[in-house]
Structure 1
Amino acid sequence: MADRSSIVFVGIAPHPPIMVPEVGREAIAEVRGSIDAMRELTARILASGAQTLVIISPHAPLDPRAFVAYDDPVLYGDFANFRAPDATVNAPLDIELLDAIEAAAHEDGYELLRLSRDSELDHGTAVPLYFFLRNGWQGQVVALGYSFLSNEDHVRFGSCISRAARQLNRAVAFIASGDLSHRLKPGAPAGFYPNAHFFDEEVVAAIRTAAPERLVNIDQNLRRAAGECGYRSMLVAIGAAAGAETDGEVLHYEAPFGVGYMVAQLARNRESKR
């Protein structure tokens, strides 16, 4: 895999702040499976030999016509908005890779909008990063956000990330941050939709059968009705994984609060298998 693509790992991570112990407190017992799976996901990233971690989040500041990137030399976020100001994350930005991603995107006709300095990381980035850092990640990070461009554009942007990593000969792990349906049961954050579970089931099946094209071809009316916040992140992941060896596995899925949380891998360097 590393000979053909410098993307050495591709995964999917949920981002509910309640997973963070300082935020969730006793409620973390409800998401213990996801927390444990994030430990395993981090172990696999470390085993892949990744030098840089790229995370794309649905909750970064959004520009309808451009992808976005955090641009601080040291990326920083906290959970003050969730009553846990002492829970923080920080990591050095891989500015060289960010520059290369911007150039590759420009070659394909996309704009990468850099956010103003001192922009704190959104929770869609900060939650996964919290677990990566606490489980041993010590490398550089690039933090991105998606757009309102077409599904096909998101896949193509993912291929720009892969091309940038390859041009730098940088071993990169890519993580799509996203939660699945928010409408899985009565009392769920976005209300209950009886068919919402079909969306989550199709996403899980696509990963387990190593068939990412099923994600691309998912019923868009179902997707919208399900109230997800991670589909475009996963499309970028599919583009980033193109040329890599697909090795899909769902490490954990649960929906204790009516929102689907999935920890999964899409692809990884086979030489890194533990």
Structure 2
Amino acid sequence: MTILASFAVPHPPIILPEIGRGEEKKIQKTIDAYDTVMKAAADLDPDTLVITSPHAELYLDYFHIAPGSHARGDFGQFRAPQTAIDVNYDTTLASLIADEAQKTGIPAGFEGERDPELDHATMIPLYFFRKYKPLDQVKVVRIGLSGFPADVHYKLGQCIQKAADQLGRRVVFIASGDLSHKLLPEGPYGAVPEGPVFDKACTGCLDKGDFLRLLTLDRSLCTRAAECGLRSFWIMAGVWDGMALQSRLLSYEGPFGVGYGVASFYPKGPDPSRKFLLRLLQYQQKQKKQRIAHEDPYVKLARLSVETFVKTGEPAPLPDNLLPEMRTTRAGAFVSLHLHGQLRGCIGTISPIRSCVAEEILQNGISAATRDPRFPPVQPAELPDLEYNVDVLGAAEPIADVSQLDPKKYGVIVKSVLDERKGLLLPDLDGVDTVDEQIRIARQKGNIGVKEPIRLYRFQVVRHK
């Protein structure tokens, strides 16, 4: 085993004195813990630092590994361009990680680079590391995250472990990631109840090395908390596949409304009970079966619509065993598809245009799967992992101003005063916690400028999921 240690660390730019200008002292515990773990990393004298970063290139269906032999970045976007980081990449290890990932069926490699400069979530741990060891004495592999579920991130970690062992590389793994971004009302992203709940759960997992729980944290909780680094931590769990660990949470703070945790992990020796992939896959399969078993008739109809059309190219006929209300009620309806917790398509009708709500669902299911311009058509291989929501809309009513909106209770329709453009956003969406966010997204969907005059309408929904 050539993985020497791993560290979970945050990446707040304000932590650097060149940027914080005194404000960094408010997270002194984080600074002290950061110094402790990066000094420990340097003392291990690694050949390579493998860093996973939420702010490197990110794709929903691909892990991007930074290409080339050298990279540089600075903190100019944070008004400190004089603070720069230069690194040399470990091209041999990076290539072997990509090869191992491909053998495992994980889409990963060097394609799709949009910005070769180092991102701040990579540079901040390197800033602390270079206090104790010059960066020209160590190489780096920089890897972005993806929209894949926990098991795929875990498998990538296994690939990193295997590649390092094959080359005999002495590797320190750095999982860069903040925790919840929604801890305090005065913070930059506001506050939600799920923020502190997520941070307590996540830091507890890190402190105990409880990776199975970390890999199976409730997805809605994580989304609503606006977590940042969880996928980095999932990869780290895979790096330690089959190893007993000495784990410790060194610090946790959140005075700026974002959670910052620092944790360390050192190997104690092989432990077959800590091979988590099979148990994770069993958990995911159990969750999937339970989800499908509890789908109500509206969601079952949406699933039938999508699966039939994707498999055959033909629309499904209306089943005979529908609820009577689904044949007699006329209402607008939206069908939303999610894949691994990420939106995969959403199309609907604001008001009824077909004979009954069942027909609305059948047709809008096809549209969500094949005609949402934001996504390519759903493929047959994706069907087993799709999750469905059906929102049946109540009548829209005009409102005088934003005081009559509530993002948890009401959806919003934004109409341009100048022409027929309009944008709609459903209520109670993960990550949409304020009226301002609602209206901003609805304007974007309707291609309505932020300063254009608008009329506002609200509506309620009955959500089936």
TM superposition score category, shorter chain reference: over 0.9
1:268 is displaced (CA, Å) by: 3.9
2:141 is aligned to: 142
Match of 1:127 in 2: 124
Q: Which amino acid aligns with 1:101?
A: I
How many positions carry a matched residue from both structures?
Answer: 266
**TM norm structure 1:** 0.92
Distance in 1 (CA, whole Å) between partners of 2:30 and 2:242 is 29
**Amino acid corresponding to residue 55 of structure 2 in structure 1:** H
1:152 is aligned to 151
What's the CA shift string for 1:141-169, capped at 9, x where partnerless? 11110111111100111110000001101
Confirm or deny that 1:236 pairs with 2:232.
no
RMSD (Å) for aligned C-alpha atoms: 1.7
Once the two structures are superposed, what CA deviation does each residue of 1:107-140 show, in whole Å capped at 9, x if it has no partner?
Answer: 1112223254971011111111111122325311
Once the two structures are overlaid, the 10-residue window that deviates more, 234-243 or 132-141, is 132-141
Deviation at 1:58, TM superposition (A): 0.5
Amino acid across the alignment from 1:246? L
Aligned positions of 1:1-274 closer than 5 A: 5-114=1-110, 116=113, 119-136=116-133, 138-268=137-267
Give the share of equivalent positions with the same residue, in percent. 38
- Higher RCO, Cα 8 Å, sep 6+: 1
How far off is 1:76 after superposition? 1.1
TM-score, with normalisation over the residues of structure 2? 0.55
- List structure 1 runs of 4+ shifted beyond 6 angstroms: none
d(CA) in 2 for partners of 1:19, 1:140:
24
Distance 1:108 1:18, change over 3 A: same
Greater alpha carbon shift after TM alignment, 95-104 vs 64-73: 64-73
- The one-character-per-residue Cα deviations of 1:16-51 (angstroms, maximum 9, x if unpaired) are 111111111111111222111111101221333421
Structure 2: runs of 5 or more not aligned: 270-465
> The residue matched to 1:12 in structure 2 has which SS?
strand
Give the partner amino acid of 2:222.
Answer: R
Q: 131-140 or 141-150, which moves further after superposition?
A: 131-140
- CA shift, 1:254, in A, is 0.6
Change (3 A) 1:80 1:242: same
Contact 2:64 2:113 in 1 (8 A): no
Q: 1:71 to 1:141 in 2, by over 3 A?
A: same
**Contact 1:72–1:118 (CA under 8 A) maintained in structure 2:** no
Does the 8 Å CA contact 1:56/1:233 hold for their aligned counterparts?
yes
SS of 2:128's equivalent in the other structure is: helix
Pair 1:227–1:25, CA change in 2 (3 A): same
Q: Aligned partners of 2:171, 2:164: CA distance in 1, in Å?
A: 7
The alpha-carbon deviation at position 14 of structure 1 amounts to 0.4
Amino acid at match of 2:14: I
Contact 1:17 1:123 in 2 (8 A): yes
Structure 1 residues 125 and 42: CA distance shift in structure 2, 3 A: same
Contact 2:4/2:170 (<8 A) preserved: yes
